[in-house]
Amino acid sequence: MTDTKDESDVESRSLDDNLTAPVLDRSAVDPVYQAKAHVLNNAIQQIGMGRYQWELFVLVGFGWSMDNMWPIITSLILPVVALEFNQSKPPLLSLAQNIGLLAGAIFWGFGCDIFGRRLAFNATIGVTAVFGLVAAGSPNFAAIGCFAALWSVGVGGNLPVDSAVFLEFLPGSHQYLLTILSIFWAFAQLLATLVAWPLLGYRTCSETDPAPCTRSKNFGWRYFLIAMGGFAMACFVLRFVVFTLYESPKYLMGKGRDAEAVAVVHKVAQKNGTVSSLSLADLEIHNEGGQQGVDAAAALKRKLEKINLTHVRALFRTKKLAYSTSLIMCIWAFIGLAFPLYNAYIPYTLTSRGASFGDGSTYLTYRNSLIIAVLGVPGALIGGVLVEVPLFGRKGALALSTVLTGVFLFASTTAKNSNDLLGWNCGFNFASNVMYAVLYAYTPEVFPTKDRGTGNALTASANRVFGIMAPIIAIYADLETAAPVYVSGALFLAAGALTCALPFESRGKASL
């Protein structure tokens, strides 16, 4: 009996060690910093999942929502904004947005390591809300383009900042919740289109209107921006006023503020109704082997270590790993171009092609966009189920959903009326949501833990850079033809084919 109990204790300690083991080894960060981070991981695991983390889960979900909602807002207002300002190149609005998203990801991603998580966490949605509300008064197309870029600077920081904040307060046993956050994406699209239907369905110009589109006839999109900017402002108030976000203990420790880091851990424990045994001595004891850099330059250096050549080379160390890394980057790049190339212009496509079918009213356009959005919710959930199907797994689910996404796009070119077009677009949105659910699960699993940050950075960069190319291509491809549909569909099919060639299947296997 004693032997059994001892074995059980050993297994329990082994499990706890796995849950709190550091992602990067000693070659990636200085040993003092890593030792202290391991102490803090143990302290957070000891506290467990409680009220503070669950409240943070919801508030981080707001950030996830903004990341999907505002690009959708841009696509929803694109048709009526182009009509009012008589813009011959509507995709310029999406180009401004994508440039802002890239700038925001870079600024907030690096910035939160310099001026803190707390400021960045609260500021990103605040910036989005302010410029979203101001954009409602835009007097011309150039102004709305500038404001779209500015609100996107806030939007672009949500995922890098919010994921860092959430993970640094999350026990290792509950890190799967970062994946569950993707459900907020689907609901964000649903909410945006639900609000757009009544506001953009009335008091807005239509392709079928014989008279010129004037501001007085086209106030719907301005009301829509006020409504969505108001929602973002409400989320900001909940984050900044109602909820008290403590600064990340790892950030404080990295700045040499060990006492404050310990105090934060005890505050979280108190809010969760428990206690922590962490003391200042537990951290300071590791200073005997050397003191890690605590200034802004050192913090920035640690951030840059995620993408330095050492970690990049590690992802290409063997032929098989280099092959896998190159393929997954290409898949992200192709999808990064294909998805915005078509998805961002669905309302514009529904309006212009609906007009040729004789039923392109603004009301029907946004009603159909709402129906399309509804299909995204089950798609995100089904993706989570498919990845665990035996003999199918991640690769099978990703390949099938990506190919189906392209097939539905090609099929949409055969539509004879608006109902046909709506049906094909519903299939597209369902398949693409399955695809993204699987892609977000598979990608980090095929990178070694110590190089996972670099791998994620490489795939995200490929996605964003190609996303900027989408509006440029759309301008010269002419949105009123099927050319963007063919290009987008071909890219999805190519990405699906590349998925079949991926060398690793991660279902049922622990990531390294």
Q: What's the confidence (pLDDT) of residue 125?
A: 92
Could you tell me the two tokens for 324?
């896998």
Q: What's the confidence (pLDDT) of residue 14?
A: 44
The helix/strand/coil state of 506 is coil
Q: How far is CA 474 from the centre of its chain?
A: 23
Spell out a b/e string for 299-312, using b for 16 or more CB atoms within 10 Å of the CB, else e. beebbebbbeeebb
| Cβ atoms < 10 Å from Cβ of 370 | 18
For helices 183-201 and 362-374, what crossing angle results, to 10°? 160
Could you tell me the two tokens for 75?
């696509």
**Which H/E stretch holds residue 285?**
none
- 21 residue type, one letter: A
Q: In sequence order, what E strands does 320-395 have?
A: none
In total, the chain counts a number of residues equal to: 512
Q: What's the confidence (pLDDT) of residue 495?
A: 93
Could you tell me the two tokens for 134?
């101001």
Low-confidence spans in the chain with pLDDT less than 70: 1-30, 33, 109-110, 113-114, 172-173, 175-176, 178-179, 207-210, 288-311, 343-363, 365-366, 384, 387-388, 445, 448-457, 477-482, 505-512
Q: What's the confidence (pLDDT) of residue 482?
A: 67
The count of C-alpha atoms lying within 13 angstroms of the C-alpha of 158, restricted to the half-sphere facing its C-beta, is 31
Could you tell me the two tokens for 386?
């498919």
The residues, any chain, with a CB within 8 Å of residue 304's CB and separated by 6 or more, are none
Given a contact cutoff of 8 angstroms between Cβ atoms, the answer to whether 435 and 402 are in contact is yes
Q: What's the confidence (pLDDT) of residue 15?
A: 43
Q: What's the confidence (pLDDT) of residue 480?
A: 61
- Distance separating alpha carbons of residues 33 and 110, to the nearest angstrom: 18
Q: What's the confidence (pLDDT) of residue 210?
A: 64
Q: What's the confidence (pLDDT) of residue 481?
A: 63
The helix/strand/coil state of 278 is coil
